[in-house]
Amino acid sequence: MRSGATKHSEYRTCSNCVMDTTDSRIIFDEDGVCDHCISFRRDVLPSWHTDARGRADLDKIVAEIKADGKSRDFDCIMGMSGGCDSSYLLHVAVKECGLRPLVFHVDGGWNTDIAVNNIKVMIEKLKLDLFTEVINWEEMKDFQLSYFKSGLANIDVPQDHAFVATLYNFADQHRIKYILNGGNFSTECVRNPLEWLYYGTDMAQINDIRRRFGSIPLRTYPFSSVFRHKIYLRYFRNVRVVKPLNYVPYIKREAMAFLERVYGWKSYPQKHFESRFTRFYEGYWLPKKFGYDTRKVQFSSLILTKQMTREDALRELSKPAIDEEEARHEFEYVANKLGISVDELQGYFTAPNKTFMDYKNQETLFNLGAAIMKLFGIERAIKR
Ligand SMILES: [Zn+2]
């Protein structure tokens, strides 16, 4: 594990993927290959199997899940955003594994029509029930505005945190021990650097932001601390997270085509664009205000897993994710929805950028936890 920023005096891109010095802690070897690529080859590739071996491992886990949930209505739980990962996960879980998941969706107020359609067609075709947690809009709005006011880069915390907390709350209530997670090496083997997207479960930071910038109490918004879900639920209640997409072939383009053909699912232009807020945030706010373009992480993952060429990725990156015309429209939409003027939102956009270190945080504890998990082989890659 490394700490502290590596300062790069000049702009540089990895010779193998498209990660670059906008990730200030990136390190290059003598061939110009970055540490994301090296970590993938060293930590992920040797133990990642999507052939018969992976399938056999998955079958073993599925048998345990079924045995554990035999007498209950659900044997596992998963969240559904309407995006490709969660949609394909739902298909694999129900159709290929015969699992009976409690499927929930968190409605934070920013669903796109595509997301709503995708969730609906899949739930209907698979004859499942959907548990929807609607976040109180006044609270959500106030929480999101607090993050805009903070000057931090990770303003998607209010949506992310609600999802994580709802997941663990449902798992706890229904005594479900297995969480299916759409996380996968195939499309996310390169992780967002910590300086781009700081932990959304750091309650010290969240409370500090709310105390300084919030204007109403969040009475119904679902909270969960990382210590509760990573330690209490995992070790005392034995709740386990399973990532089925790591055991089967998962080629994004093929999965999307399959979902379209079989379920009437609709594809959308970029990962995470199923939420209109995230689309605005990752497509415009983060790259334009902070210089962090999450497409670099997404494309680099696809390059490492041979689903995209570096040339195609560089060509895509030369164009903005959201063009200026569309961005103006989105600025209006987001400002209106949050109940503020376009000028006020513009003010937050031009205000000085802050980092998670400018506010109370538990980074040291998070790092310690991650180091321990890596030591015990629970998690393979450390977020940095
Ligand atoms: Zn690289």
Residue 2 CA to ligand 1 centre (angstroms): 17
> In what order do the strands lie in the sheet containing 101-107?
130-134, 101-107, 76-79, 178-180, 240-242
34 CA distance to ligand 1 centroid (A)?
4
Instruction: Give 13 Cα–ligand 1 centroid separation in angstroms.
Output: 8
Query: Among positive and negative, which fits the CA dihedral 370, 375, 376, 380?
Result: positive
pLDDT of residue 378: 59
* Secondary structure letter of residue 81 according to DSSP: -
Q: Whole-angstrom Cα distance, residue 116 to residue 296?
A: 27
CA of 23 to the centre of ligand 1 (A): 11
Report long-range pairs for 315-324 (Cβ below 8 Å, ≥24 apart): 317/18, 317/293, 320/283, 320/284, 320/287, 321/270, 321/282, 321/283, 321/284, 321/287, 321/293, 321/295, 322/279, 322/280, 322/283, 322/284
CA of 282 to the centre of ligand 1 (A): 21
- Ligand 1 centroid to residue 102 C-alpha, Å: 38
Q: What distance in angstroms lies between residue 35's CA and the mean position of ligand 1's atoms?
A: 6
Cα 39 to ligand 1 centroid, rounded to whole Å = 9
Can you tell me the distance from the alpha carbon of 285 to that of 331, in angstroms, rounded to the nearest whole number? 10
pLDDT of residue 383: 56
Distance CA 144, CA 214 (A): 9
SS3 (DSSP) at 180: strand
Question: How many Å lie between the centroid of ligand 1 and the Cα of residue 303?
Answer: 9
Q: How far is the CA of 9 from the centre of ligand 1 (A)?
A: 18
The pLDDT value given to residue 199: 83
Query: Distance between CA atoms of 254 and 71, rounded to whole angstroms?
Result: 36
Q: What's the gap in Å between 44 CA and the centre of ligand 1?
A: 14
Which of 200, 196, 186, 138 is closest to 305 using CA atoms?
186
User: How many Å lie between the centroid of ligand 1 and the Cα of residue 351?
Assistant: 32
384 residues of the chain, pLDDT tens digit each:
344 456 677 999 999 999 999 999 999 999 999 999 999 999 999 999 999 999 999 999 999 999 999 999 999 999 999 999 999 999 999 999 999 999 999 999 999 999 999 999 999 999 999 999 999 999 999 999 999 999 999 999 999 999 989 998 899 899 999 999 999 999 999 999 988 888 888 889 999 999 999 999 999 999 887 777 777 777 777 889 999 999 999 999 999 999 999 999 999 877 777 789 999 999 999 999 999 999 999 999 999 999 999 999 999 999 999 988 999 999 999 999 999 999 999 999 999 999 999 999 988 887 887 777 777 665 555 556
Query: Rounded to the nearest whole angstrom, what is the distance from the C-alpha of residue 132 to the centroid of ligand 1?
Result: 39
CA of 36 to the centre of ligand 1 (A): 5
For residue 140, with 0-12 CB atoms within 10 Å meaning exposed, 13-18 middle and 19 or more buried, which class applies? buried
Instruction: Specify the 3-state DSSP secondary structure of 179.
Output: strand
- If you measure from the C-alpha of residue 321 to the centroid of ligand 1, how many angstroms do you get, rounded to a whole number? 21
Burial class for 305, CB neighbours closer than 10 Å (0-12, 13-18, 19+): buried
